[in-house]
């Protein structure tokens, strides 16, 4: 039975509709990928020197690139050593927030009490020192489990990092 012209036209319109829908979806996906890549590149260029691993902490002595160079099994072994201290850091950060709140309360008090402020500030500093000491213990624990070759590679990573990112105003490089 011959196809009527109207039936042929409906099939072509149906195929054309699906093709257009597919093209729109493809275009949307491509724009999403381009946006995601652009956002990532922008973030990397503008925030890479201000990430959470840049502050004074034990992570400066155990940089991520060092761990990325290790085999998965070895990296997991060393991560387990660090995870053993996770609760100490969690608790310490909580204590830091409380100590900072005490400093803020002392600043906000009317009338201002210098002795209260000094006490709160000393407590804040002591809590920070405790966190730094805990970080040093973690570093000592991890380094104590490294092979001589791993220690050498870690030292090279640290030397590279300190040469790459000199302190502001340091014109030695």
Helix-helix angle 72-83:114-144, to 10 degrees: 150
pTM beyond cutoff 0.75: no
Cα 74 from Cα 59, distance rounded (Å): 18
Residue spans of the chain under pLDDT 70: 1-15, 42-59, 164-173
In our burial notation (b when 16+ CB lie closer than 10 A, e otherwise), range 152-171 reads ebbeebeeeeeeeeeeeeee
pLDDT at position 48, please? 47
CB distance 173 to 162 below 8 Å? no
pLDDT at position 106, please? 93
pLDDT at position 137, please? 87
Cα 89 from Cα 99, distance rounded (Å): 15
pLDDT at position 22, please? 78
Tell me how long the chain is: 173
pLDDT at position 98, please? 93
CB distance 98 to 126 below 8 Å? no
Collapsing DSSP to helix, strand or coil, 71 comes out as coil
Cα 37 from Cα 77, distance rounded (Å): 33
Per the structure block, which two tokens stand in for 164? 């790459």
Tell me which CATH code domain 58-164 carries.
1.20.120
- The 3-class secondary structure across 131-154, one letter per residue, is HHHHHHHHHHHHHHCCCHHHHHHH
Cα 59 from Cα 132, distance rounded (Å): 11
């Amino acid at each position: 039975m011959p196809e009527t012209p109207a039936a042929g036209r409906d099939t072509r319109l149906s195929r054309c509709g699906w093709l257009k829908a597919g093209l729109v979806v493809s275009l949307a996906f491509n724009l999403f990928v381009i946006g995601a890549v652009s956002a990532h590149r922008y973030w990397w260029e503008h925030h890479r020197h201000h990430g959470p691993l840049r502050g004074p902490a034990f992570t400066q002595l155990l940089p991520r690139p060092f761990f990325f160079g290790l085999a998965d099994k070895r990296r997991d072994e060393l991560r387990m050593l660090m995870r053993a201290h996770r609760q100490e850091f969690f608790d310490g950060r909580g204590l830091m927030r409380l100590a900072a709140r005490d400093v803020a309360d002392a600043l906000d008090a009317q009338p201002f009490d210098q002795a209260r402020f000094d006490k709160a500030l000393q407590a804040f500093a002591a809590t920070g020192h405790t966190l730094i000491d805990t970080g040093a213990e973690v570093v000592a624990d991890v380094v104590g489990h490294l092979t001589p070759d791993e220690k050498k590679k870690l030292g090279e990573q640290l030397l590279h990092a300190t040469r790459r990112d000199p302190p502001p105003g340091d014109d030695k490089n």
